[in-house]
Amino acid sequence: MDAHTLELLEFSKIRDLVAGYAACSLGKTAPAWPSLARAPILSAPSWPWSPRWWNSWAKRRRRRWPGLRDVRLLARRAAIGAMLAADQLLEVAGTLACTGHMYRYRMRLGPRYQKLIALLGPVEDLGLVAKSIGGCIDGRGQVLDMASPELAQVRQKIASLDERVQTKIKHLLRDPELRKILRYPNATVSGDHYVLPVAVNFRHKLPGVVHRTSSTGENHFVEPAEVAGLSAERVLLKNEEDREIRRVLRRLSALVGKGFPATRLCQSRPWANSTTSAPGATVQPSRAFGHAAPDINTEGKLWLRQARHPLLEQTVS
């Protein structure tokens, strides 16, 4: 099929439409998957299965193997000693969990699936690295207390200190003399500090640090002196917490870096694109537009039954 015909058919736009449904950037450029080929296939392909079988298999894998992303750059950065952020580690963990599912799926395949076994052969099980990350970082990207004993200990100290601060504030608010100089009998928070709203005329009656002033200038928000000392101690503990979080992230990044060769191998092979991401790129628009996989013949015959241009289908939908 010549280039002019492909241009009239807007084949490049169809490829872009299909590629947009790929699970990740790997599938958008997958050379091994015929639906993302540069031109229509004009002869019976040399695949081990029919397009209908592959389409059915892709639907099942699409549900079983979520979370695939192109994490080669992140893994490379970890391999040279860079510290990945928590959300980046979660992205890597999702992909490594996916490859772990693929590995275990291959191990369960029977003898009659030798070609599929060979296709999935290079996959290594890095699921333990994914579990290590998942055990230290929650779905919101927060490093958990259980990530290290030191982190749990420092957070326990912070929680205890916060409780002491709140106890001090409650005690001050019960003081009848202090309540006379407050604009309202409640504490508020300014940054990480508990402050009391003191009328400007009575500022001298409450020793402490002024953290801000009201827009009218009539109120000063004062952190009582006996609370300010605890706040300074809390700042030191928060710095210690941040250092420990960085240690955890560096440790997890080192685990990712050790698995970089396997990650790069898995995601640089054409089979990785064609078996995990690109099939989904054909399954999703097929479901959306009611398409069906073709029956391939060796006689050079073409039968278009109720055929419609995919771009027109997209416009109508």
Pick the residue with more confidence: 93 or 63? 93
Exposed, middle or buried, 1 (CB in 10 Å: 0-12/13-18/19+)?
Answer: exposed
Q: Do both 19 and 117 map to the same domain?
A: yes
pTM: 0.69
pLDDT reported for residue 281: 52
The amino acid sitting at 294 is P
Total domains present in the chain: 2
Q: Do both 105 and 205 map to the same domain?
A: no
Give pLDDT tens digits for 138-177. 999 999 999 999 999 999 999 999 999 999 998 888 888 8
Residue 166: which of 240, 238, 234, 235 has the closest Cα?
234
Q: Of 245, 274, 295, at which residue does a domain stop?
A: 245
Give pLDDT tens digits for 92-129. 998 888 888 878 888 888 888 787 787 777 777 888 89
C-alpha of 41 from chain center: 36
What CA dihedral angle connects 144, 146, 147 and 151, to 10 degrees? 90
The range of the structural domain enclosing residue 20 comes to 3-142+250-316
User: What are residue 29's DSSP bridge partners?
Assistant: none
Q: Do both 47 and 182 map to the same domain?
A: no
Percent of the chain with pLDDT over 90: 26
Q: Would you give the DSSP letter of residue 137?
A: B
CA-to-CA distance for 34 and 13, rounded, in angstroms? 15
Q: Of 188, 210, 245, at which residue does a domain stop?
A: 245
Q: Of 226, 245, 264, at which residue does a domain stop?
A: 245
